[in-house]
Chain A
Amino acid sequence: MIPRGIEVLWEQRDAIFYGFVNTIAITAVAAVCAGFLGLLLFALLISRVRTIEVALTWLIDLMRCVPFMLFCYMIYYGLPSFGIVIGNLTAGIVALTLYNAAYIAELLRGGYAALPRDGIEAGHAFGFHGWRLLTRIILPPVLLSSTPMLGNQLIQIIKDSAFLVIIAVQELTFAANSIQATYYVPFASFVCAIILYWLLCLAVEAGVRAVVVKAETQR
């Protein structure tokens, strides 16, 4: 049973590889977009404009109550109701981006709340305001202290990307599932997919550790 599974997988290695590369690409694009959108939301959150802060806090809290799969359906089936027609791959990346941007904004805010105020006050005293205060004084320590959490969020994006199989995005789980369905080798194909997800997550964890170590030595 298992030798045949490995044999079939070897024959289908291109399909698995295609799915794996797609998962990496989808995750990378969504992570970069969610990162920038999350930064923007974070900047608005700490802008001290009361109405924006309250509205965004509500929106982020609401987003944190939504299961990703439900949100994915909302984007995929909901947007066409508003006349926006997008393909399933785009819908998947949009869903991953919007969903994770809320979480990223929230975790950056957590890092900001734990930041000692004197650095920011010194920045004020030296004439840093607005954009320059954000990028030169606030963001460097916030991003550094949030690196492990940002790494966890990246792993979350990798895992969430598997949900895109429900809207037929051809990522890793989709590839494993179609091989399973055609050749009936469920054990080998899904175990192979899970091991590839594991390697991806281990790589992210190693990357996070390298960043933290480098930051510690350069201080």
Chain B
Amino acid sequence: MGRGDYLALAAGAANTIAVSLLAIAIGNPLGLGLALIRWGKVRGLDGIVAALVSLLRATPSVTLVLLIYFALPTIGLEVPRFAAGVATLALGTMAYNCEIWRAVLLAFPTDQLDAARAFGMPRALRFRLVILPQIARAALPALVNEMTLIIKVSPAVAVIGVIETTRAANRIGAATYKPIPPLLVALAMYVVIIGAFVVVQRMLERWRPAGPFA
């Protein structure tokens, strides 16, 4: 492997990080929104959200990215490869994040909400000041775990031609007839990226030592 190959792999890693971070930034709040719809038992929407989450959790990312990239142009929506990749991963992580947020919402102690209501706090303020800070802490380990899963499925976007780490490694292997060295370098890159998420999670956990719902 030459210097150019390492640069290609680094560019691939940058794409892996960009696609995954964008998917997380879009999918996580959407997941929280869906979880609130289910938690609040919004009539009509509740069942639809439950079915959507079940469907998305059963959908392989490879199949979904092919659907988004090839089917949207048939209804007149040209999507660039990168955007199709981000949309795919965001939809997948949205469904899993919905389940994570819902679990911590269901575990949230109702007496705190009753207290907040007794003090006349409006609903939005209750959510922002009482619920969100605590559920965010409680959900953090599961959310970070889901983020590492997103990085691990992110090579799916390679099937529509986004050149991320795995595809970059594979192309170098095809050109040099030595497939293993670039794949091992790619592996090391994933270990570093996934490791970084776990380190950030540990730092955030230590940041304020009081436990959730304390």
Hey, which bits of chain A sit against chain B, CB under 8 A? 1, 62, 65-70, 73-74, 77-78, 81, 155, 158-163, 165-166, 172-173, 176-177, 180, 186-187, 190-191, 193-194, 197-198, 200-202
Contact = CB atoms under 8 A, between A and B. Distances in A.
Nearest to B63: A173
Contacts of B190: 65-67, 70
Interface string B186-199: 11001100110000
Interface of B: 54-55, 57-64, 66-67, 70-71, 74-75, 151-156, 158-159, 165-166, 169-170, 173, 178-180, 183, 186-187, 190-191, 194-195
Contacts of A172: 63
Nearest to B178: A81
A69 B55 contact: no
A173 B66 CA distance: 9
Q: Taking chain A's interface residues, is the majority helix, strand, or loop, or is none over half, making it mixed?
A: helix
Contacts of A173: 60, 62-63, 66
Contacts of A1: 74-75
Closest 8 CB pairs of A and B: A162-B60, A186-B70, A201-B58, A190-B67, A77-B179, A69-B155, A187-B71, A186-B71
Contacts of B66: 173, 176-177, 180, 186, 190
Contact of A166 (B63, B75, B159): B159
Contacts, number: 123
Contacts of A162: 60-63
B166 A67 contact: yes
A165 B152 CA distance: 17
Contact of B57 (A67, A81, A190, A201): A201
Nearest to A204: B58
Which of A62, A65, A78, A165 has the most CB atoms of chain B within a 10 A radius of its CB? A65
Nearest to A81: B180
Given A67-B190, A70-B190, A193 B152 contact: no
Given A159-B60, A190-B71, A78 B183 contact: yes
Given A65-B195, A66-B190, A67-B154, A176 B63 contact: yes
Contacts of B159: 165-166
